[in-house]
Structures are given as C-alpha cells and as structure tokens.
Structure 1
Amino acid sequence: PMGVLSDRKTLRDKDGKKRWKIIERIGKGSFAEIYSARDLVDKSIVAVKVANSARGATKQLRHEHSVLKALQGCSHVCTLIYFGKHNNLHFIVMEKLQHSLSHLRDLGGRSIRMAGEIGQEMLRCIEALHIRGYIHRDIKPSNFGIPEHNERDHECKILDFGLSRKYIDDKRKHKSERIY
C-alpha cells in the first residue's frame, strides 16, 4: 500500500513546478511516511518525509524540519534539501541514505572490528548533536544510515529528529525545563 501519497505522484516546489516524482514508500512512522523520489531537476534520488493524518503530525514534521535545518553543515547529519507543502501535505525532502544500520545488521556478515568501527561512528553522530546542543531521544539502528557516496565502509549519518530537543541554550547553558 502506498499510504498518504500514491505511486507516481509528483510533488511541487514553492514556485508550483513539478519537482519530485515519488517512486515508492520506503518507511512509515507514527507521524509520517518516507518515500524515495527522483528530483526532476538534478535527477538524483532523494528521500521525502510526508506528515500523515495523525493528530499533531504536521507540527511534529515542522519541529523535525527546524532541528534538521539547525544541524545543517554537520557531516554526521543527513542533508536537508527542501521543506514545503503540496495539496495540504507538509513534506521534507532530504538526502536519501543507502541503507539503515538495522538493514546492515539484518544482512549479517560483518566482522567484530567493523561492528566496533560502526559503533564509534554512531557515537560521533550523537556527539555532533550534543555539541550543537541537541539530544536525539530516539537512538536505534534504523535512525542511522550509510551515505550513498561513502568513503569508508563504516561511515554513517543520523536521521529522524522528530523527538529531538535542544538542551543547551544559545549561551551554552543547560535549559532548566524538563525535556519530555
């Protein structure tokens, strides 16, 4: 089943031009569905995250966009391409990662050494968020992915910032309110 978007649907950019042609649904969460799509401008394959009809889904996606936008420039975070709305559907277009770490785990065949290197890379991803004052709050293998053009077998990026929260303010002080 396709979900919120139909097969071969094309999303438009802010100028109303057809821009991202949906290929297939590749993931589903409580607030959004993720699709692979072809960018009609540069022909690249991207990931498109679309808010579903659940209560609060659009607010959640807007929050994720604001966190992702704040983290751009960090090599350990997936690249944000676009945030917009098409026919009342809010969506984020971002870099499509090759495989999630849960997919690699399921494939098996990795050495203990490689697993250790991937674990260290995951810690570098988490550390990069913390340095920028964010906590992720949903750490699991499916929220890490291997970039398409990956120089090392164990390079990974962190994604899915829907539950993330800022825990350090702009003056580098811990926020006092409780983070839920």
Structure 2
Amino acid sequence: MELTYKHTEIYDWVGDEELRTSITKSINEIEKSKTLLRKNNYEPVISEILGWKDKRDRHKDAELHDGTGIEVKKNSSTSFILDAVRYAEMYYGACDNGIHLFINFKSGKIHQINRIMIVPNWMVVRMMIPDQDMADSALTMYNKRKEMDQGLNCQALLNVTRMINKFNNM
C-alpha cells in the first residue's frame, strides 16, 4: 500500500493498519525530536515516541506490544546500508515474523521525513540474500574472520527506488 501523509510518502507491505496509523501520527514528533540527525543510538527515542519497547538486539531494535520485533533503519540519502551477515543469519531463521521500518529524511534547515517503508523481515531478507549460496558465502567469510580474531564489514548499499520496485514485485 502506498499513501502520502503531508510531506511523507508511506509504503506499507505489512498491511497492519494500526501500526501504520501509529507511525503516521508520530512523524511530526519524530521530526521535532531531531533524533534522526544522530549518527547512532536513535532507536530508543523512536521506540519511545511510538510506544514500543526498546529492545536493541542483533536483529531488532524494538518490540511491539505483541512481541513482534522491529528493526529501525534511517538515512538521509537515497540509499540504505545493510549488513549481509545479519541477513544471512536471518535467512537461516535467526529472526522470524519481524518488521523493518525504513525512514528516509531530509536534514538541514528543513528536517523532514520524506519517506517511510514498513516491510516484513522476510521481504528484506529475500532482497538481501536471494539464495542459500549467498547466505553461506556471507557466513563463511564472517566465521573465518572470527577464527582469525577479526571482524567483517560485509555491507550492501541499497537504492530506495530499487528497494520499492523489488518489494512491489514480491
């Protein structure tokens, strides 16, 4: 579902009207809070504004009252950066039935949320990790680096327009 609320385009592939309405009604408060301008640690403020339980974990930032996990991603550009290793873990069932909230915003004099995407986890996982080979590759690299006492930065840069098109075709 696609709709526009004031200056914000809202794309909803979850279809939970109550969730969509609560997010829509909170846009102005999130903008006023300026929390999106923070480089990190913005999730607790967004969770509080939306009435969600702050639950920062590897695969979720918050929880709805029914226990559904929410991953919050924000960016002021036309792309989002996602960690392939986390989504490979999710491919193998590390996190089920959750939701992603992607927030696109303009910073500067006018601090506005211009786009929100509400997406079920399975769609994001399928877009990031389309098959078992890709999941295995990401996890193999991660585990090898871990054995070497190193970390792995395995990120994908996803264009918002392409994300919307991909989600619409799932």
TM over 0.5: no
What is the TM-score of this pair, normalised by structure 1?
A: 0.29
Which structure is larger by alpha-carbon Rg, 1 or 2?
Answer: 1
Considering fraction of residues, name the structure with more helix.
Answer: 2
